[in-house]
Structure 1
Amino acid sequence: MMGRRRVHVTPQEEDAMTNGIGAALRRIARKVWARAALFTGLAVVFALAAGVVGTLFPFRIVVDLGQDSVGTILQIIASSMLTVTTFSLTAMVTAYSSATTTATPRATQLLIEDRTSQNALSTFVGGFTFSLVGIIALSTGYYGEQGRTILFFGTLVMVALIVVTLLSWISHLSTFGRMADVIDRVEAAASRTLTTHAESPALGARSYSELPDGLTSVCGTSSGYVTFIDLDRMERVAAENDVEVYVRRLPGTLVDPRTPLVSVAGRIDESVRTSLADAFRVQPHRDYEQDPRLGVIALAEIGSRALSSSTNDPGTAIEVIAALQRVFETTLASTPTEEVSYEHVLVSPVRLDDLVVDAFRPLARDGAAIIEVQIRLQKCLAALGRGRPDRSVIFSRMADQAYARARAALADGDRDELDHTYRTARTK
């Protein structure tokens, strides 16, 4: 089948292309500029449509608006929206900077994707554009008498939208970018990604634990982190060429042009190699979309920074431990599906051991000399172990490591309290 030119598109290929386009559109929709551009375009259409719609009505809608009243209102909106937009941008950048310095840089992308702030900024930019286009159109005589009336009512709708958005934005600013807000956002992202991973550990492919011999390795062409794997494309290429593809690098892995991305059982040519390598999206920074480890790593980083001598905020570290406990409880309660969507693709799933180490080892290390943190950590690990007896050995191992670190760092009185907590948690 190798080298055969396809002259039609199968339903499976159509589904794969649709999924790929949908994923690309979802990524674009999370960008600030995308929503602002959409609102700006709608504002321009809205403003210019008033001059056209009026001519289509079989009846006349004319209101005596006074001397240039619409133009005055539009000028007020234009000047005020420019100021509000500048203020909103400043507030957003301040929140991003605060999250980077006080929590973790890995949380910034979640703040950037915040829908409330994007909607607010887009509405303000759209209101400014609407008023500016309206002023220009009025000055050129674009609107007739009925068109100005329709523009007036449209302006009232825009004013109402701006006021509602502004009130919502003011309320949102009271929590946006604060430590609790950042922890909640990272927790939600970690829970979402880990739950998806728990329900489909192999991403819908078949699982493997060890690579067989005699495989052909395929490397990429760039350095960075794997952020997304297009398994639809990979399955299509593998099925067409009657081969099996073993995925070697999962999202979150750092790769370079010499790193094998996949290994293939069967003969492949250069075009197949290129197609398989192109199924991996490699970017400079990690992304939460398919990376099950990034969320817990980001939470652990927030806790570690809070435990640094310059910050000295064990309360935040305790909040992070509670958030991690909720994340793992949600994940462990998920039931993995046995359905395989990609018969020709095999994936080695992320192990729970690695996730537990990513989440709790930094807190055990950096908070070893703080008894309050260690007590909360022991209780958290014990609760997670009791929730899943079949996985309890993983949490017990981490509890033992944290206990050993803390016992070597704590004073005698704190050490006795830790011993009591450790024994009590093990016997419950």
Structure 2
Amino acid sequence: MSAAKVFLSRLARRVWFRAALFTLVAIAYALLIGWIGPLLPFSPTLDLGQGAIDSILQILATSMLAVTTFSLTAMVTAYSSAARIATPRATQLLVEDRTSQNVLSTFVGSFAYSLVGIVALSTGYYPEQSRTLLFLGTLVVVVIIIVTLLRWIAHLANFGRMSDIISRVEKAAGDTLAQYARRPALGARPLRATPPSALPVYAASPGFVTNIDLGTLERVAESASIEVHIIATAGRTANSRTPLAHVVGTLNDDTADALRDAFHVEAHRSYDQDPRLGVIALSEIGSRALSPATNDPGTAIDALAALERVFTLMAEQERDEELLYPHLWLSPVSLEDLIDDGFRPIARDGAAMIEVGLRVQKVLASLAAMSPQNYRLFRRAAASAERRGAASLNREDARALRDACRSLWR
């Protein structure tokens, strides 16, 4: 994804951006009607009571300030709850929730609209026709606020709850993994081995790679007649020990800077191109639920069910072998790493719980049956989970786990 697309995509998901956009539209309408009213070919006048518009706008300004404060408190509480009961990696998904952003933007925009309207009325800015337009616009704003409040009440019933968090993480993981399954190398050539003579390109500062602009890398590689072997894919660490890429061919400072600029290195990982982060987040949710302080195997089982759906979605994708970037080589994320990320922490922390151990075996056996070519990887993870359970369970539960494994993995 290009730098411009990444910037615009992230900008649209910022809480302040949507609120600022709604506010600007509201202020623009409140100001423009003072100029548009006298230009209309007819005179839309209503017999308005003394101070009717001003009273309504006063009520809106007062109530919207209070409702905005309440909404912000509810949102911050949901963010804190997600970090505490699930995983901090889920917080960014709640922050990007469109419904809460639209609600907050509507309330802030309505507050700004009413405030500007009150000031304009008190200064005599509006002629009679514009006062009528302001009144009609205010009625529309009231209707929008009522609908938004009803949606917000319904949304708060589930916003930030465990089921909501798991669903959000599952969707983010499924979208990224489906993209990965269709194009594991993202349109580049699969990287098998890097020539010993290749020259490394390091990041300007350490961090996590969140996005790679493959189009820019291809243009730079083609113009410089070089081959670029990408090492630090999205989600991987780039530092003085791990380079961003290796270059086969002549490498000068300008080319190295151009290649370096195509990698977005940040302090925190992002779900956009990182196929492992969503799986890790689901695993963390299940693992935290199994801690002695929480002791909630039901949530761990829900997380395993979400992992099963995510891996199933990945297996159902059709591979796209089209080569888009012939000068680039990229090392895809291995399925073995994804399986370990998803199931090893839950199998480890739930080793002493027979219900969790059985669910792990059932999920892995189901995925192995659906993807026979990867049977060995799922069977290896199941065997590791079985050994952990056998070492932690009492004799009766250990026997039940062994019997279930023999039945599932015949």
Contact kept in structure 2, 1:296 and 1:324, CA below 8 Å: yes
RMSD: 0.9
CA distance in 1 between counterparts of 2:126 and 2:240 reads 60
Aligned to 1:10: none
Aligned to 2:197: 214
Query: Could you say what secondary structure the match of 1:228 adopts?
Result: strand
Contact kept in structure 1, 2:208 and 2:235, CA below 8 Å: yes
1:310 alignment partner, one of 289, 293, 298:
293
Aligned to 2:363: 380
Aligned to 1:3: none
Say yes or no: does 1:75 pair with 2:58: yes
1:265 alignment partner, one of 239, 243, 248:
248
Aligned to 1:24: 7
Aligned to 2:124: 141
Contact kept in structure 2, 1:221 and 1:257, CA below 8 Å: no
Say yes or no: does 1:412 pair with 2:395: yes
The equivalences for 1:155-304 within 5 A come to: 155-304=138-287
The unaligned stretches of length 5 or more in structure 1 are 1-15
**Corresponding letter in the other structure for 2:352:** A
**Corresponding letter in the other structure for 1:42:** V
The equivalences for 1:300-339 within 5 A come to: 300-339=283-322
Aligned to 1:12: none
Post-superposition CA distance 1:20-73 (Å, at most 9, x none): 323311111011011111111111111112112212211111111111211110
Percent identical across equivalent pairs? 55
CA distance in 2 between counterparts of 1:402 and 1:259 reads 31
Contact kept in structure 2, 1:102 and 1:305, CA below 8 Å: yes
CA distance in 1 between counterparts of 2:5 and 2:267 reads 23
Query: Could you say what secondary structure the match of 1:260 adopts?
Result: coil
CA distance in 2 between counterparts of 1:77 and 1:233 reads 50
2:382 alignment partner, one of 399, 407, 423:
399
Cα shift at 1:213? 2.3
The equivalences for 1:333-348 within 5 A come to: 333-348=316-331
CA distance in 2 between counterparts of 1:342 and 1:133 reads 53
Contact kept in structure 2, 1:223 and 1:256, CA below 8 Å: yes
1:423 alignment partner, one of 390, 406, 410:
406
Runs (4 or more) in structure 1 with deviation over 3 Å come to none
Cα shift at 1:233? 1.0
Cα shift at 1:204? 1.5
Query: Could you say what secondary structure the match of 2:210 adopts?
Result: strand
Query: Could you say what secondary structure the match of 1:222 adopts?
Result: coil
Query: Could you say what secondary structure the match of 2:265 adopts?
Result: strand
CA distance in 1 between counterparts of 2:241 and 2:112 reads 49
Query: Could you say what secondary structure the match of 2:274 adopts?
Result: coil
**Corresponding letter in the other structure for 1:396:** R
Cα shift at 1:341? 1.3
Say yes or no: does 1:43 pair with 2:26: yes
Aligned to 2:133: 150
CA distance in 2 between counterparts of 1:132 and 1:205 reads 54
Query: Could you say what secondary structure the match of 2:244 adopts?
Result: strand
Say yes or no: does 1:97 pair with 2:80: yes
Cα shift at 1:258? 4.5
**Corresponding letter in the other structure for 1:162:** I
Contact kept in structure 2, 1:247 and 1:347, CA below 8 Å: yes
CA distance in 2 between counterparts of 1:400 and 1:311 reads 27
CA distance in 2 between counterparts of 1:326 and 1:374 reads 18
Contact kept in structure 1, 2:180 and 2:186, CA below 8 Å: yes
Cα shift at 1:259? 2.9
Contact kept in structure 2, 1:367 and 1:374, CA below 8 Å: yes
CA distance in 2 between counterparts of 1:246 and 1:271 reads 18
Contact kept in structure 1, 2:202 and 2:238, CA below 8 Å: no
Aligned to 1:366: 349
CA distance in 2 between counterparts of 1:159 and 1:357 reads 52
**Corresponding letter in the other structure for 2:17:** A
Post-superposition CA distance 1:275-311 (Å, at most 9, x none): 1111111111110000000000000000010000000
Say yes or no: does 1:130 pair with 2:110: no
Say yes or no: does 1:120 pair with 2:120: no
CA distance in 1 between counterparts of 2:36 and 2:3 reads 38
CA distance in 2 between counterparts of 1:283 and 1:31 reads 17
The unaligned stretches of length 5 or more in structure 2 are none
CA distance in 2 between counterparts of 1:22 and 1:279 reads 13
Contact kept in structure 2, 1:35 and 1:118, CA below 8 Å: yes
CA distance in 2 between counterparts of 1:325 and 1:113 reads 25
Aligned to 1:13: none
Contact kept in structure 1, 2:228 and 2:246, CA below 8 Å: yes
CA distance in 1 between counterparts of 2:283 and 2:228 reads 34
Q: TM-score, normalised by structure 2?
A: 0.99
